Amino acid sequence: MGKHEQKEFGFGTQIRKSPYFEATVRWGANGFSVYNHMYIPRDFGDPEQNFWNLVNDAILCDVAVERQVEITGPDAAKFAQLLTPRDLSKCAVGQCKYVLITNAEGGILNDPILLRLEENRFWISLADSDILLWAQGVAINADLDVEIREPEVSPLQLQGPKSGEIMKTLFGESITDLRYFWLRPYDLDGIPLIISRTGWSSELGYELYLQDASKGEELWEKIMAAGSPFGLKPGHTSTIRRIEGGMLSYHADMDSSTNPYELGLDRLVDLDMEADFIGKAALKRIREKGVSRKHVGLVIDGPALLGPNTRFWALEKDGECVGKVTSAVFSPRLEKNIALAMVSAEFADHGTTFDVDMPKGKTTATVVERPFFDPNKKIAVA
């Protein structure tokens, strides 16, 4: 894709622009939304082509909206553990963990990636909610020696099967031994970076955390130039691929009233560890009582959806509302409408059918296994 004539975008000065903003517009970004009080590119043309670019070659995505909450100080590890029900006692320096941040009721406030950069230095790489304020509030009465701040760090995601070859071109052979969910510092011609083998795509991929905002456009152009022989395209996070992979989106698939057990994320909760964390007592009660609803995969009958759902579509059983579709899209690879939904626990078994109340009328849907593609995540781990 060539460079396009620049177009002016604006939500007002209260919404921040990333160091890559002008570059994304030059490379064809047609639309933005707001995430963590920042612009995020959502449109580089046909979303189906963006999906094929991702799964066949590679795409570069501006995800500087993944703001970092940095925890430092002698008690940084204790404080990080206080925020999450996942046992962090074996999280090594240089390792990343997918974690949940829970409130006192066990509700999920965010589902970020935690990066341990040093013994007493952590980043929480956020989904879309204000965890900086939460963490600073918790710290006031935690009686722990920590500092909580938002550093000037701006991630890019390079995702897709060709991403490894592009990274070798940029960083040499040493990048190939960076393991899945591990990180390492790099310097690319004077550009300071933290690089992790992570991403929000279910594909092979890397996240490049830029630590000098003045070099954003330089970094973007270097990656696009290195990726040109491999078919690299500018892009945005793919709703199609993330639903295929069963990946969750905060505010769509969960919010502060959702607990980990409803999402089937029991593996991220360790109630038996000695360390305390916010929500531990509530999650013990929920585990003992059981959940009243569950998050499931659905196949929705009818014509191909023209785009992702923008409302929560009601799910009905015998005329009664028993749940809602949280995320839905048409998968061109699977040639079916696939969705994630929250339903009453008694209707969560595979094969259960519902009526779906959609904008143009009702259709039917069936509970199926998820993820819909590559269920063991062999592609991302490879």
Chain segment 309-328, per-residue pLDDT in tens: 999 999 999 999 999 999 99
For 262, which DSSP code? T
Burial class (CB in 10 A: 0-12, 13-18, 19+), 378: exposed
Q: Output the pLDDT for position 12.
A: 80
**Residue ranges of domains in the chain:** 20-66+152-242, 68-149, 292-381
Q: Which residues are annotated as a binding site for substrate?
A: 207
Q: Output the pLDDT for position 294.
A: 98
Alpha-carbon distance 226 to 76, whole Å? 38
For 201, which DSSP code? S
Q: What angle do CA 253, 233, 33 make, to 5 degrees?
A: 40
Contacts of 92 (CB under 8 A, 6+ apart): 116
The DSSP bridge pattern shows strands 361-368 and 293-300 to be: antiparallel
Q: What are the b/e assignments for 227-242, b being 16+ CB within 10 Å?
A: beebebbbbbbbbbbb
Query: Which residues make beta-bridge pairs with 298?
Result: 339, 367
CATH number for the domain whose boundaries are 20-66+152-242 = 3.30.1360.120
Structure tokens at 276: 């305390």
CATH architecture, domain defined by 292-381: Beta Barrel (2.40)
Mean pLDDT score across all residues of the chain: 96
Contacts of 174 (CB under 8 A, 6+ apart): none
Q: Which residues are annotated as a binding site?
A: 207
Q: Confirm or reject CATH 3.30.70.1400 for domain 68-149, answering yes or no.
A: yes
* Tens digit of each residue's pLDDT (9 = 90 or more) over 94-149: 999 999 999 999 999 999 999 999 999 999 999 999 999 999 999 999 999 999 99
* Tens digit of each residue's pLDDT (9 = 90 or more) over 248-302: 999 999 999 999 999 999 999 999 999 999 999 999 999 999 999 999 999 999 9
Whole-prediction pTM? 0.94
